[in-house]
Amino acid sequence: MEPVGPGAALEREQVMRRLRFIARLFTGGVAVLPLLAQAHDGEFLQARFEARHGVLHLQIIADYGGNPMIADEAEARRALTDSLRIEVGESKTQHRLDELAPLTIAPRAARDTQSPAPQNETDPRHPHQLLAASWRWSAPDGEVRFFNPETSQQTVLFWVHEPGVSPTRWTMLVAGDRTPTIAVKRPWWKHSWLWGALIVAGISAGVAAWRHLRRDDGIADHKS
């Protein structure tokens, strides 16, 4: 990334703040994403969320080659670790992602083509340098919400991957913002208490069958 003077950096940040403010005013999404894309689709983190059978999957991508708020890979790693947290249950207990499950960070070769953000052409002067964080957590039944901490300096495009669903649901999170509530419901076969009950029932049936056979053997011996 080529050096930027203090004046230019300040002006750029003022532009980004205006864009973030506009993003909070719109809810339909059609007008906001093209507007943000005019700045650069790397100037905000992109978080792809998917829930499958009670397991929450999250992938966050940072472009430290095209984001003026991220100077290098080390800052990208900090941004991926700190820019999204989660509230769990009715008590809204707050957690860092890595408190609940490992957060795996690795380089990424290409942007996510399924993202709702319009894809800008790559500027040869500022090639994409992508780093992605992957997170997978088996959540309990209830509700969760993701949020961008008040101390964050990043803007996050949070979107939901739902095959066959159009348009894509998304929200833009600036510092202090939260996603809508997400309901988590595990399928019946993933509840541990159910498997415990089935095991107990199986053992009970086995013991009853064994006793029945022993009684039948005892009757046969007596008759003989």
60 belongs to a structural domain? yes
CA torsion sign for 5, 10, 11, 15 is positive
128 belongs to a structural domain? yes
Angle between helices 32-39 and 6-25 (to 10 degrees): 170
126 belongs to a structural domain? yes
Measured in Å, how far apart are the chain's first and last C-alpha atoms?
96
158/204 same-domain check: no
Q: How many CB atoms lie within 10 A of CB 16?
A: 20
Strands (E) in 6-141, as ranges, are 45-52, 55-63, 85-88, 93-96, 103-108, 130-138
217/169 same-domain check: no
216/172 same-domain check: no
Distance CA 55, CA 52 (A): 5
84/25 same-domain check: yes
Residue matched to tokens 């059609």: 30
Q: pTM for the whole thing? A: 0.69
What is the domain count for the chain?
2
State which residues form the domain around 156. 6-186
138 belongs to a structural domain? yes
143/104 same-domain check: yes
123 belongs to a structural domain? yes
Quick one: pLDDT at residue 53?
Answer: 87
181/207 same-domain check: no
Quick one: pLDDT at residue 208?
Answer: 61
60/85 same-domain check: yes
Identity of residue 143: E
92/124 same-domain check: yes
Distance CA 138, CA 191 (A): 11
CA distances from 160 to 72, 94, 100, 171 (A): 28, 21, 20, 9
Q: SS3 of 74, please?
A: helix
135/215 same-domain check: no
69/142 same-domain check: yes
Q: What is the DSSP string of 172-205?
A: EE-TT-BPPPEEE---GGG-HHHHHHHHHHHHHH
35/72 same-domain check: yes
132 belongs to a structural domain? yes
List CB contacts of 201: < 8 A, sequence separation 6 or more. Answer: none
114/157 same-domain check: yes
1 belongs to a structural domain? no
- Per-residue tens of pLDDT for the chain, all 224 residues: 344 444 554 455 545 554 554 444 443 443 445 445 444 556 889 999 999 888 999 999 999 987 888 999 999 999 999 999 999 999 999 999 999 999 999 999 988 988 888 776 665 566 779 999 999 999 999 999 999 999 999 999 999 998 888 888 999 999 999 999 999 987 655 545 444 444 555 566 666 666 666 665 665 565 55
Residue matched to tokens 């040869």: 124
Distance CA 204, CA 190 (A): 22
